[in-house]
Amino acid sequence: MKNLLKDKEEYEKLTKTEVIAHIRAYLIELADVSERSRLDKENFEKASWPYLQAYECGVQKTIHKLQEFINI
């Protein structure tokens, strides 16, 4: 996903609704990446598995809170 918010020219063309939609899409993408990482089979074999799980749960909770915050 191209981050239109970093490109000044592209950002200036967006409406507020489009900016929020772009942020929502990005949060969904981040949540999917976090979920895949949490369920990655290789992580289950690591001694640090509980810490990885706790980290990903924290990431997902933060993303969920941000999604609720921008829900208009």
The predicted-structure confidence for 52-64, as pLDDT tens digits, reads as follows 999 999 999 999 9
Query: What gap in Å lies between CA 72 and CA 56, rounded to an integer?
Result: 26
- Give domain status of residue 8, yes or no: no
In the chain, % of residues over pLDDT 90: 64
Domain with 49, as residue range(s), is 15-69
- Give domain status of residue 62, yes or no: yes
Residue 1 pLDDT level (bands cut at 50, 70, 90): low
What is the structure's pLDDT at 36?
93
- Give domain status of residue 4, yes or no: no
- Give domain status of residue 57, yes or no: yes
- Give domain status of residue 3, yes or no: no
pTM over 0.85: no
Residues in CB range of 4: below 8 A, 6 or more apart: 10, 11, 14, 22
Q: Please give the tally of structural domains in the chain.
A: 1
- Give domain status of residue 9, yes or no: no
- Give domain status of residue 1, yes or no: no
- Transcribe 2-70 into DSSP letters: --TTTSHHHHHH--HHHHHHHHHHHHHHHHHHHHHHHT-GGGGGSTTHHHHHHHHHHHHHHHHHHHHHT
